Every structure is written in structure tokens, then in C-alpha cells.
A = this chain, B = another copy of it.
Amino acid sequence: VSETNQLARVEAYSDGVFAIAATLLVLEIKVPSLGVHAPAAELLNAVRALWPSYLAFVIGFTTILIMWVSHHTAIRMLNKASKRFLYANGVLLLVITFIPFPTALLARYIDTELASVVVAFYSMVAVLLNVAFILWNAAMQRPVYLVKPEISRERLEKFKRQSWGSLLLSIVTTAVSWWFPMVGLGLIIAAFVFWIIAVPVGDTAER
């Protein structure tokens, strides 16, 4: 019971950070400032012209949601925590917390000639996120083995391969974005589809 409680608090703190990071993204969508006698069409256009903000919002939210699902899936494989695991979790949360910044950059510059810089920067943060996720996964197995005995080796190996695949994809995306930012954006969305389809979710893997 005591061990479970400890993991429960790690989950509670992590859930808080995931939820807040995801929700703060909306603060980047700024209300357009018009004169009160402006015609309705002008406000409509201004609200439509915010599409880069909406797009960035959805991308940032989806990134955090997918990491939350993966965090949730992985932590349910454990039956205890270690000190190293707690700090590795902290590093993962540090990167999650940072995501509103590249998202805000994306919102601001995606429809300009500077798109390549901001898509590449976003992908670079995705690289960091993947690295943090891999370290976090490693901390589950070393120096203490925290994983429940009933979790099969193959499942852990598959999870690991997927994480490395995702890291590789984010590195490629960073490089590509410099020359073809829209291709980079497409790869970011492709990575979402990959995670959503490929990664099993908690106890519901078989469904």
C-alpha cells in the first residue's frame, strides 16, 4: 500500500504539471484589439487571422496529451519508485513545462518567412522531450528494477524501440525543418499519428 501511495503522489504531481502546461497554452491566443466602432467583418477577419495561434495551440496540446498518455502507460508498469526515478521524472516534467514557449514562438512566426526557425526550434524541443523520456524509461530499470514482475520483457523492449524511433524522427524533423518548414510541420503531425496508433495505452493495450 505504501509503495503504491508513493507512485500515486508522483502521478498526482505529474498530472498537475501536464494539466497546467497544456492549459497555459491558451494564454498565447491574444484577443485582437479593435476600435469599438469597427465593422463586424473586421473582428471576424481578426479572429480568423489568429489561425497560427489555433494551430500552435492544437500542436502544443497534442504533444502534451500524448506524453501524458505515455507517462500514464509507463508508470502503471511500476510497483515502486527510486530516487533516480523521481529526479528523472522531474527532468521530464521540466521539458513538458517548457513547451508553452516553443508553442508561442510557433504561433507568432509560423505564417512568416521565419517559419523554418520556429518549426526547427519546436522539433528541437521534441528532441529534448524524447531524450528525457528515454532517460526516464531507463531510470525504471536501473539501478533498481522498479517494473512489476508480470510485465513482459518484450513489452519493455517494444516500448524502448518506439521511444528511440520517436527520437530519431524528431532529429530528422529538426534537420528537415531548416529547409522545408512545412514538411517539418507535416512530420510533427505524422509523429502524433505514430504515437496515437503505435503506443499501447495502459491496461487497455489489447483493445
Residues of A near any B CB (own CB < 8 A): 2-3, 5-6, 9, 11-13, 15-27, 29, 31, 34, 36-38, 40, 43-44, 47, 57-58, 61-62, 65, 68-69, 72, 76, 80-84, 86-87, 90, 93-94, 97-101, 104-105, 108-109, 112-114, 116-118, 121, 143-144, 196, 200-204, 207
Contacts and interface: CB of A to CB of B under 8 A. Distances in A.
B9 A11 contact: yes
Contact of A204 (B22, B80, B90): B80
Nearest to A20: B23
13 contacts: A5-B76, A6-B204, A13-B19, A16-B20, A23-B97, A29-B101, A38-B114, A43-B117, A65-B93, A69-B86, A81-B204, A83-B207, A86-B204
A31 B196 contact: no
Given A37-B113, A114-B43, A9 B72 contact: yes
A68 B84 CA distance: 15
Given A26-B97, A86-B202, 9 more contacts: A12-B15, A17-B19, A17-B23, A25-B97, A36-B112, A37-B112, A40-B117, A43-B109, A81-B202
B22 A19 contact: no
Contacts of A22: 17, 93, 97
A54 to B, nearest CB: 8
A80 B206 CA distance: 13
A61 B21 CA distance: 13
Contacts of A36: 109, 112-114
